[in-house]
Copies of this chain bind each other. A is one copy, B any other.
Amino acid sequence: MELYNFLKDITLQAGENIRKQLNEPLLIETKSNPNDLVTNMDKATEKFLFDRIQDTYPDHRIIGEEGSGKDIDNLNGVIWIIDPIDGTLNFVHQQENFAISIGIFIDGEKYAGVVYDVMRNILFEARAGHGAYKNGVKLENITETPLATSIISMNPNWLTKDFTRDIYIPLVRDSRSARSYGSAALDFAYVASNKINAYITLRLHPWDFAGGLIIVEEVGGIVTNQLGEPVNLLTANSIVVANKSLHTEIMNDYLSPFKLELEKIHQGRFSKR
């Protein structure tokens, strides 16, 4: 519990730091290139989290989007997997709809995860085996839904590529409706809180989903890659996250028929993060 509370504390503090800096309009406006700002904020947030973790738990290891733990090639001991700002384009363009995402794994086993919607101050959190919470309110098990009455999230970009559109068009067409929010971590949180019923994407890094994976599995969500295999925490992955029956329907009726094509797409693409 001490580690869990520490995880939540530093997440909320990191979010507070981001909000403080975003609310200083001069800082944004004096930057000639908004991408500089986000790089600085990403890096500053990762450094803040890194320093706090290393000060308190010097033996823990950290994999971060901004470069921490690049050399880590096994899951021994306590590993933090961190995305300081998930949804970078939203951060730059919207100054909202981004999240801090953190998952902690101990010897490869799930320990705890957070997804923090910084600007709306909504903390999704879960300790493995102890349920998931949204701002302190326990989340119920997610509803099982057929695709025909499901809202799914998928970036429209996957429908524009020659090598993927035939795979995903039937899935989108047969759903009730499709959304695209621009933050994988929030997509996991939205599946966990029953706002959407599935999220499908072809390439995510461990830091994009490590926090959300632990949260959504606490409420009955199923997470695999698009070949139906468990995700790998040390490499990039394709992703299907959904309630149990919808996950089965998507795999059996929509992705398995393209197993050969998907295997070809997967070959070599996901060997590293």
A196 and B93: CB pair below 8 A?
A: yes
Asked if A177 lies at the interface with its beta carbon under 8 angstroms from chain B, I say: yes
Asked if A135 lies at the interface with its beta carbon under 8 angstroms from chain B, I say: no
A231 vs B209: C-alpha distance when bound (angstroms): 42
Which stretch in A57-65, A106-114, A179-187 binds the other chain?
A179-187
> Which B residues lie within 8 Å of A196 (CB)?
93-94
A151 with B89, Cβ < 8 A, contacts A35-B176, A160-B172, A173-B160 known: yes
> Which B residues lie within 8 Å of A172 (CB)?
156-157, 159-160
A173 vs B164: C-alpha distance when bound (angstroms): 13
A74–chain B nearest beta-carbon distance, Å: 34
- Chain A interface size, under 10 / 10 to 19 / 20 to 34 / 35 or more: 20 to 34
Quick one: which of A227-272 are within 8 Å of B by CB?
none
A187–chain B nearest beta-carbon distance, Å: 12
Asked if A155 lies at the interface with its beta carbon under 8 angstroms from chain B, I say: yes
> Which B residues lie within 8 Å of A177 (CB)?
35, 89, 155, 157, 182
Asked if A169 lies at the interface with its beta carbon under 8 angstroms from chain B, I say: yes
Asked if A70 lies at the interface with its beta carbon under 8 angstroms from chain B, I say: no
A21–chain B nearest beta-carbon distance, Å: 19
> Which B residues lie within 8 Å of A38 (CB)?
none
Asked if A139 lies at the interface with its beta carbon under 8 angstroms from chain B, I say: no
**Who on chain B is nearest to A148 by CB?**
B34
Asked if A195 lies at the interface with its beta carbon under 8 angstroms from chain B, I say: yes
A194 vs B28: C-alpha distance when bound (angstroms): 15
Asked if A22 lies at the interface with its beta carbon under 8 angstroms from chain B, I say: no
Known A-B contacts: A157-B177, A179-B180, A181-B181. Give 14 more (CB < 8 A).
Answer: A35-B177, A93-B196, A93-B197, A94-B151, A94-B195, A94-B196, A151-B182, A155-B178, A156-B172, A156-B178, A159-B160, A159-B165, A178-B180, A179-B181
A contact set with B: CB distance below 8 Å: 34-35, 89, 93-94, 96, 148-149, 151, 154-157, 159-161, 165, 169-170, 172-173, 176-182, 194-197
13 intermolecular pairs with C-beta atoms under 8 Å apart? A35-B176, A89-B151, A93-B197, A94-B151, A157-B177, A157-B178, A159-B159, A160-B169, A160-B172, A161-B173, A165-B169, A179-B181, A180-B180
